[in-house]
Amino acid sequence: MLAQVALIASLVACSIAAQAGSVLIVADEWPQMDVLAQYLEAEGGYAVEKAEQDQLPDDLGPYHAVFQFIHGPFKDGPAGALMDYAAGGGRLVVLHHGVSSAKRATQGWLEFLGITLDRDKDAEHRYVWIEGVDLTLVNLNPRHYITTHHVAYDKTVEYRPSDQPSPSVSLPALDLDQTEVYLNHQFTDAREKTVLLGFRYEERKSGEVHMQDRAGWFKAAGKGLVFYFQPGHAVSDFEKAGFCQILLNCLTWRVTPAGLRSDE
């Protein structure tokens, strides 16, 4: 009897994975991605494959989605393959240091994402990164499927969008502890992006509060989509079920103008 139950459970799991499809994670750090992979498999039924950037499959087309989590230098060849995948109709999800200073050397990558990072010491909005911070992730698009479907938020916070002039509003939020924040990602593509998430970060010494609408967004890329989410430095970021659910929602969302439907 137990063997029959195990067999049925195995067949059901295989059926769910076949229905959901396969996703590929391309990374050079794996503790964070191992946690994400477990969530996508357990909660989404996806079959997750993993590869270093030098080990990409020849054809990315069959994957329902590809995640990019490259901390170090991102080579032009693999970057070009991921950009072609998105332009051809795929869903490319870029995480955390996929937009960081090392990527300025990757041919066409930041331009593809519509981002610039100004590291000039006299820059008005200088790009900086700060480790070991407590970060609040804020839902700026609370009617969108990606930010709401099965997502449990910790609290509500007062947030003033960096799209000024705007008043402060009360919005759902998730707390991420001892992670990393990137300040001053600058958009170069005007209003092409749909912004989903912002962040709120308070400096411990000065008490200065930073609120920037840069923690999560997506945009069209040819026939496909590219998503970016700033969290991901710490393993604990992915142990936050709400954040992983947001990433899963990027895979199940059926594209509509209002973003209110899914493939389920």
Residue 86 lies in a domain: yes
Residue 66 lies in a domain: yes
Model pTM score: 0.90
User: Which residues share a beta bridge with 23?
Assistant: 48, 65
Structure tokens at 168: 């402060």
d(CA 40, CA 60): 18
Nearest to 130 by CA among 208, 206, 182: 182
CATH number at 108 reads: 3.40.50.880
Side chain identity at residue 14, one-letter code: C
Nearest to 93 by CA among 57, 121, 54, 67: 67
Residue 126 lies in a domain: yes
Residue 214 lies in a domain: yes
Residue 232 lies in a domain: yes
Pairing state between β 65-69 and 91-95: parallel
pLDDT tens, residue by residue, 22-64: 999 999 999 999 999 999 999 999 999 999 999 999 999 999 9
Residue 203 lies in a domain: yes
Domain count, the chain: 1
Residue 7 lies in a domain: no
pLDDT band for position 257 (cuts 50, 70, 90): low
The mean pLDDT value of the chain amounts to 90
pLDDT band for position 6 (cuts 50, 70, 90): very low
pLDDT for residue 17: 37
Q: Which domain holds residue 203?
A: 22-262
DSSP, residue by residue, 177-223: EEEEEEE--EESSTT-SEEEEEEEEE-TTT--EEEEEEEEEEEEETT
Over residues 163-168, the mean pLDDT reads 93
CB atoms within 10 A of CB 113: 24
d(CA 245, CA 172): 15
pLDDT band for position 204 (cuts 50, 70, 90): confident
Residue 70 lies in a domain: yes
- Judged against a pLDDT cut of 60, whether residue 11 lies above it is answered with no
Over residues 227-237, the mean pLDDT reads 98
- Judged against a pLDDT cut of 60, whether residue 13 lies above it is answered with no
Share of the chain above pLDDT 90, in %: 84
pLDDT tens, residue by residue, 98-120: 999 999 999 999 999 999 999 88
- Across the beta sheet with 65-69, the strand order is 47-51, 22-27, 65-69, 91-95, 224-229, 209-221, 194-202, 128-139, 169-183, 155-159
pLDDT for residue 171: 98
Over residues 6-23, the mean pLDDT reads 48
pLDDT for residue 40: 98
